[in-house]
């Protein structure tokens, strides 16, 4: 199956962000991709999360998500993107990934559970963590995709739970905060999650300056099959269930694992 990574430089103009995603989805579809993944906070982003995030938040059946569903339907491609979702708390929003099929129907959604309260950031001041820690996996084109968001990448148990739930490709939709050694950590952690779970990891990130860019597709052996560098853009790459099966047979960790 061919998938696409759409590296964005999202800002506060929601309609402009949606227009870029529509253009990238069209390009991905023309390139033969069956799914396009966009970063965390794809529809609304700033250098730091602030009070405007809950102000612009919408429910998953609101206009922003309706437009994302329309983009998927218009270009006949599955689409995953980060949105700012209304929560039960008027002062906070959910940081949510939503997935749509080529018919525009919603396949899954995931509310980020590990909020970025580190490096002087306080995401939890304005964002509410998802209540459920159950792995979110959906199937499209015979491939099972697991959903993770940014800081989740530092918590290996979530990636393992997605692999245990049948995931072949982990979509790590991110806006990885820049800093000392942060790009090196981003690349290393994407590779580590791929190797230790015998899965593909598609780490799709916001571009600089708000984030580090370097959206990557890492195969189950830790080989980087695609790297988008620092500029916004969309690229396609193939994933193979046969490769996943072959690596899991060579390194049968799921059979050999001892939990007690």
Label residue 230 left, alpha or beta by phi (over 0 means left) and psi (-120 to 50 means alpha).
alpha
Please tell me the total count of domains within the chain: 1
pLDDT digits (tens, 9 = 90+) for 162-193: 999 999 999 999 999 999 999 999 999 999 99
Note whether residue 256 is domain-resident.
no
Q: What single string gives the DSSP state of each residue in 50-81?
A: -THHHHH-B-TTSHHHHHHHHHHHHHT-EEEE
pLDDT category at 259 given cuts 50, 70, 90 is: confident
CATH number assigned to the domain comprising residue 144: 3.60.110.10
pTM attached to this predicted model: 0.97
Note whether residue 131 is domain-resident.
yes
Parallel, antiparallel or unpaired: strands 143-149 and 137-140: antiparallel
| Number of helical H runs and strand E runs in the chain | 7, 12
In the set 9, 27, 40, 67, the catalytic residue is 40
Check pLDDT > 90 for residue 195: yes
Check pLDDT > 90 for residue 90: no
Do residues 193 and 215 lie in contact, with contact meaning Cβ atoms separated by under 8 Å? Answer: no
Range of the domain at 225: 2-251
Q: Where is pLDDT greater, at 84 or 257?
A: 84
In the set 112, 123, 128, 173, the catalytic residue is 112
Residue 260 pLDDT? 66
Do residues 40 and 53 lie in contact, with contact meaning Cβ atoms separated by under 8 Å? Answer: no
Can 40 be counted among the known catalytic residues? yes
Can 184 be counted among the known catalytic residues? no
């Amino acid at each position: 199956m061919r998938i696409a990574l759409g590296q964005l430089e999202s800002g506060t103009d929601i309609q402009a962000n949606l227009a870029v995603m529509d253009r990238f989805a069209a390009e991905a579809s023309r390139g033969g991709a069956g799914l396009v993944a966009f970063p965390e906070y794809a529809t609304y982003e700033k250098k730091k999360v602030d009070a405007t995030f809950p102000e612009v938040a919408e429910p998953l059946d609101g206009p922003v998500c309706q437009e994302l569903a329309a983009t998927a339907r218009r270009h006949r491609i599955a689409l995953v993107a980060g949105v700012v979702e209304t929560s039960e708390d008027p002062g906070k929003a959910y940081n949510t990934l939503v997935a749509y099929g080529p018919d525009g129907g919603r396949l899954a959604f995931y509310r980020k559970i590990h909020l970025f309260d580190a490096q002087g950031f306080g995401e939890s001041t304005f964002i509410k963590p998802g209540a459920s820690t159950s792995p979110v996996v959906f199937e499209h084109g015979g491939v099972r995709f697991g959903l993770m968001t940014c800081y989740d990448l530092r918590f290996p148990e979530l990636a393992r739970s997605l692999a245990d739930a049948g995931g072949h490709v982990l979509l790590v939709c991110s806006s990885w905060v820049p800093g000392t050694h942060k790009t090196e950590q981003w690349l290393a952690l994407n590779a580590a999650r791929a190797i230790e779970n015998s899965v593909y990891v598609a780490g799709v990130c916001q571009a600089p300056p708000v984030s580090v860019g370097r959206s990557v597709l890492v195969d189950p052996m830790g080989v980087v099959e695609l790297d988008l560098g620092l500029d916004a853009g969309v690229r396609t790459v193939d994933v193979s269930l046969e490769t996943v099966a072959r690596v899991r047979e060579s390194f049968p960790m799921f059979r050999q694992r001892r939990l007690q």
